[in-house]
Chain A
Amino acid sequence: MSQISRRGLLKSGIAAGVLSATGMPLMAAPKKGGRLRLGLAGANTSDSWDGRTHSDSFMIMCAHGAVFDCLTEVGADGQLKGELAESWEASADAKTWTFKLRQGVTFHSGKPFGADDVIASLNMHTAEGAKSAAKPIVSAISEMEKISDHEIKMTLAAGNADFPFLLSDYHILMYPAGEIDEAIASGNGTGLYMVESFDPGVRFVGKRFPNHYKDDAGYFDEVEVIAINDASARMNALMTGQVDAVNRVDFKTEALLKANPQIEIFEVTGNQHYTFPMQTGLDPFSDLKVRQALKHAVNRQEMVDKILLGHGKVANDHPIGPANQYFAADLAQNDYDPDKAKALLKEAGLDGLSVDLSAANAAFAGAIDAAQLYQNSAKAAGININVVQEPDDGYWSNVWLKKPWCACYWSGRATEDWMFSTAYETGVPWNDTGWENARFQELLLTARAELDSGKRREMYTEMQMLMSEQGGTVVPMYANYVDAHSTKLANSGTIGNVFQMDSSRMMERWWFA
Chain B
Amino acid sequence: MAGLLRIIVQRLLLGIVTLFVVSVIIFVAVNALPGDFAEAILGQGATPEAVTAIREQLGLNQNAFTRYFVWLGGVLRGDFGVPLSQALFAGNFGTTATGTEVITVVDQIMPRLRNTLFLAGVSAAIAVPLAVTLGILTALYRNSAFDRSMNVTTLSAISSPEFFIAYVLILFLAVLNPVFPSLSNIFPGMEFSERLNRTMLPALTLTLAVTAQMMRMTRAAIINLLASPYIEMARLKGLSPMRVIVKHALPNALAPIITVIALNLAFLVTGVVVVEVVFVYPGIGQLFVDSVKIRDIPVVQACCLIFAAVYILLNLTADILSIVSNPRLRHPK
Contacts and interface: CB of A to CB of B under 8 A. Distances in A.
B153 interface: no
A396 B287 CA distance: 24
A397 B187 CA distance: 37
Interface stretch (B92-100, B122-130, B229-237, B259-267): B92-100
Contacts of A232: 167, 278
B135 interface: no
Interface string A184-222: 110000000000010101110000000000000000000
Contacts of A173: none
Interface string A386-422: 0000010110111010000000110000000000000
B42 interface: yes
Contacts, number: 140
Contact of A45 (B51, B54, B88, B291): B291
Contact of B290 (A44, A239, A242, A397): A44
Contact of B182 (A236, A397, A429, A430): A236
B294 A46 contact: yes
A44 B39 contact: no
Contact of B89 (A46, A202, A237, A408): A46
Contacts of B40: 393
A430 B291 contact: no
Interface SS, B side: helix
B47 A394 contact: no
Interface stretch (A15-23, A123-131, A324-332): A123-131
A46 B100 contact: no
A460 to B, nearest CB: 24
A502 to B, nearest CB: 23
A335 B206 CA distance: 53
A49 B90 CA distance: 12
A393 B282 contact: no
Contacts of B47: 429-430
Contacts of B53: 131
A398 B167 CA distance: 37
A396 B42 contact: yes
A226 B96 contact: no
Contacts of A45: 83, 85, 108, 287, 290-291, 296, 299
A487 B279 CA distance: 24
B272 interface: no
B174 interface: yes
B100 A237 contact: no
A200 to B, nearest CB: 8
Interface residues of B, number: 57
Contacts of B50: 131
Contact of A182 (B54, B99, B181, B279): B99
Given A239-B175, A242-B181, A393-B34, A233 B278 contact: yes
Residue among B44, B93, B95, B167 facing the most chain A CB atoms (10 A cut-off): B44
Contacts of B18: none
Interface in B180-201: 181-183, 185, 187
Contacts of A185: 99-101
A393 B96 contact: no
Interface in A342-395: 391, 393-394
B262 to A, nearest CB: 30
A53 interface: yes
A242 B35 CA distance: 37
A497 interface: no
A52 interface: yes
B182 A240 contact: yes
A236 B91 CA distance: 39
B178 A240 contact: yes
A44 B86 CA distance: 12
B38 to A, nearest CB: 9
B1 interface: no
Contacts of B83: 45-46
B44 A396 contact: yes
B117 interface: no
B183 A233 contact: yes
B299 to A, nearest CB: 8
A54 B76 CA distance: 35
Pairs of residues from A and B, 4 with the lowest C-beta to C-beta distance, nearest first: A127-B94, A46-B85, A394-B35, A130-B94
Interface of B: 33-35, 39-47, 49-51, 53-54, 57, 83, 85-86, 88-89, 91-101, 108, 167, 170, 174-175, 178, 181-183, 185, 187, 277-280, 282, 286-287, 290-291, 294, 296, 299
Interface of A: 39, 44-46, 48, 50, 52-53, 55, 124, 127-131, 133, 179-182, 184-185, 197, 199, 201-203, 226-230, 232-233, 236-237, 239-240, 242-243, 391, 393-394, 396-398, 400, 408-409, 429-430
18 contacts: A46-B41, A46-B83, A46-B88, A50-B93, A55-B43, A129-B57, A133-B45, A181-B95, A181-B98, A201-B286, A201-B290, A203-B185, A226-B280, A228-B280, A230-B278, A394-B39, A396-B42, A430-B47
